[in-house]
């Protein structure tokens, strides 16, 4: 289990290939082989805000970066550097609500299938107990 933080910090930057201003994950809360949990406090300057709300694309990018952070952590544990990847496909997306600037979201990413270099994950973003968005993302890492 990792220490929770609300802002991007040196630890999260060591786990993902992303850099400012496009960091959409704040802290890796926990990581196992099949489940990653992250947290993000959405800053007022976030480039994926529209009318004060974090857009669907921001939540989906948060899921993808949460997966990158989890895989980066597991890789670091075995002596590897974070790998650059990309989103191959997005499916089964359901949006219930959009968070506002200043909100803290928690994201759960479950690894569904892995056939390197392709990984299929299910992600869900929450504000407290409220599910905001869920969907599946195919990543190529």
Distances (CA, A) of 98 to 63, 82, 85, 93, 112: 14, 29, 26, 13, 25
Token pair in block for residue 74: 């597991």
Residue 21: exposure state from Cβ atoms within 10 A (0-12, 13-18, ≥19)? exposed
Whole-number average pLDDT of the chain: 92
pLDDT tens figures, 77-104: 889 888 888 999 999 999 999 999 999 9
- Under CATH, to which class is 10-140 assigned? alpha beta
* pLDDT tens-digit map of 117-132: 999 999 999 999 999 9
Q: How many residues does the chain have?
A: 141
Q: Which residue has the tokens 């504000």?
A: 127
What predicted TM-score, i.e. pTM, was given to this entire model?
Answer: 0.91
Q: Where are the domains of the chain?
A: 10-140
CB 136 within 8 A of CB 122: yes
């Amino acid at each position: 289990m990792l220490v929770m933080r609300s802002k991007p910090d040196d630890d999260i930057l060591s786990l993902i290939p992303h850099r400012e201003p496009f960091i959409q994950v704040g802290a890796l809360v926990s990581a196992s082989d099949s489940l990653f949990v992250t947290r993000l406090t959405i800053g007022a300057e976030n480039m994926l805000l529209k009318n004060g709300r974090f857009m669907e694309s921001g939540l989906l990018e948060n899921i993808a970066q949460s997966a990158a952070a989890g895989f980066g952590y597991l890789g670091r544990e075995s002596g590897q550097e974070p790998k650059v990847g990309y989103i191959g496909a997005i499916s089964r997306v359901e949006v219930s609500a959009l968070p506002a600037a200043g909100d803290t979201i928690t994201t759960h990413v479950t690894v569904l299938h892995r056939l390197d270099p392709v990984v299929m994950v299910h992600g869900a973003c929450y504000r407290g107990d409220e599910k905001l968005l869920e969907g599946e993302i195919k990543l190529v890492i």
